[in-house]
Amino acid sequence: MNLITPTHFAGYELIDTGNGEKLERFGKYILRRPEPQAVWSKSMPEKDWEKMAHATFSRDKGNSKDAEKGEWILKPAMPEQWLVNYSYNSLNITMRLGLTAFKHVGIFPEQAENWNFIYDSLVKLKIAEPRFLNIFAYTGGASLAAKAAGADVVHVDSVRQVVNWSAENMQLSKLDGIRWVVEDAMKYLRREVKRSKTYHGIIIDPPAYGRGPDGEKWILEEGINELFECCSKLLEKESSLFIANLYSMGFSALVPENLVKQHFPDVKNSEIGEIYLPDSSGKCLPLGVFVRFVR
């Protein structure tokens, strides 16, 4: 099993973790957010956390409908939106960050390692315009990496506001031509299978739970097998790449490994493991399991 973490993200730093929280720098701003996997003690004293954080996320304990929802407490110098740049070899992208009611800010920095993998793999395929599909695509870091590598990119997410955010990131990154699709992921995949469509690259990053634009229910444990099955039918048999990220505290890396063995039996070189971010004290924060391969 491999452990991977970004090594080129100058605009991001995990400063400290512990007691169910994380302290992070995005660009020049430092945020304090909940992190359920940080079950150990903090390395820095509370006074330093309070002093350093420009914004702190506080859960709305009175909200019985959505325990994940909350609000940001901002210091005077903290904007609600700002930009972060990411560079790797010839890949240069810019993403707009923002403070949302669900603690997310528009980027998952640990995924930068997969952006590098996408960019390098597509360039090495030496196909004029490889077809690339990003499912559960969020704000589009993977889509931008694929587009920068010269791919014909389809970006699928069920939330229109998030897709609009992705389009803004494309413009900020001075790219164009990504096809935006606001639809339930499984509906889109099933339709593409019926159409006998194929792609040279696919990345999936499904949530543990979710809803489609028409209320379609997604539960990772119930849908993951069909998700891999559809991807196996859509992915080109040669000159192709595949990435699956699974952020679920109950999932072992053996889960995606078994799914690849079942649905991509010809693949013998898959890489499986965990994605993590190290903080400044050397503690490693786990942020999901992955499987990826190029064939």
- Residue 51: count other Cβ atoms within 10 Å of its Cβ: 10
> What's the length of the chain?
295
Residue 246 lies in a domain: yes
R_g over Cα of the chain: 19
Residue 62 in this model has a pLDDT that exceeds 60: no
Claim to verify: residue 283 and residue 216 sit in the same structural domain: yes
Residue 86 lies in a domain: no
Claim to verify: residue 138 and residue 254 sit in the same structural domain: yes
Q: Could you report how far apart the first and last alpha carbons of the chain are, in Å?
A: 19
Domain containing residue 209: CATH number: 3.40.50.150
Which of the pair, 218 or 238, is modelled with greater confidence? 238
Claim to verify: residue 137 and residue 175 sit in the same structural domain: yes
pLDDT 10s digits, 80-105: 999 999 999 999 999 999 999 999 99
Residue 193 in this model has a pLDDT that exceeds 60: yes
Cα–Cα distance, 161 to 105 (Å, whole number)? 13
pLDDT 10s digits, 105-158: 999 999 999 999 999 999 999 899 999 999 999 999 999 999 999 999 999 999
Claim to verify: residue 11 and residue 151 sit in the same structural domain: no
Residue 64 in this model has a pLDDT that exceeds 70: no
As a three-state string, the secondary structure of 13-71 is EEEEEECCEEEEEECCEEEEEECCCCCCCCCCCHHHHHHHCCEEEEECCCCCCCCCCEE
Mean pLDDT of 8-31: 97
